Structure 1
């Protein structure tokens, strides 16, 4: 058996991150279209990542890896802010009157697919934790 290369390890790590991000988006109640737009992946890639026996290895570009990272970090921030599952997973669907969201939910804003919207959503949610890291 050949040893794993750095490329193989990176592809395995990317697949693990993608599967985790898709599972989080599913718990947030994101539609398939929203999830695909947030992560900037195809319908087939998103569907494979949802399956338990799905993606084991994948190449993601820098933008896609950033999107996965933002979803994982938003989830980590929400876990620090909320200790009940209703808020932890429901917050992303709740309308938000913050000037950035203008009454839309964070999931709606991120679902537009723009990397800036994903980043700004992360930044605002991360600020809610108030330096709890």
Structure 2
């Protein structure tokens, strides 16, 4: 039995820390600004945010975030990770915000935005993993 306890403790330690509601709301506000800089349309924003309703997205843009479910917090966290990686990789602001729309050989000629618009959390994670590998993180 002691072996089982060690495994459980290790698995718990490896789990990502839970994102608080305040952190989720801060990331949501940052995402509204980020999507504006990325020139993401309202319909694209709803896809990137896991099928968020247009009404809820409109409320977010107006500053009324509300409660954020765990899976949406994961999307927001990965989007913030993408932004962070781009800010580390590029010093030029135009490149930081324009990169997501540019064709990329790593994605078979598609843009990172095209990949992320697949709609799945794994699509966003794919872009983040790529950028993290480029920046060495």
Which consecutive segments of 4 or more residues in structure 1 shift more than 6 A? none
Contact 1:11 1:58 in 2 (8 A): no
Equivalences for residues 27-106 of structure 1 within 5 A: 27-40=37-50, 41-51=52-62, 54-55=63-64, 57-98=65-106, 101-106=107-112
The structure with higher relative contact order (CA 8 Å, sep 6+) is 1
Structure 2 residue matching 1:83: 3-state secondary structure: coil
Structure 2 residue matching 1:112: 3-state secondary structure: coil
- TM-superposed CA distance for 1:115, in Å, is 1.1
**TM-score, normalized by length of structure 2?**
0.78
Task: Please tell me whether Structure 1 or Structure 2 has the larger radius of gyration of its CA atoms.
Answer: 2
Higher helix share: 2
Unaligned runs of 5+ in 2: 1-19
**TM-score, normalized by length of structure 1?**
0.81
Deviations 1:31-65 (A, max 9, x none): 111111111221112122222xx21x522222100
Q: Distance in 2 between matches of 1:124 and 1:91?
A: 13
Q: Distance in 2 between matches of 1:25 and 1:126?
A: 20
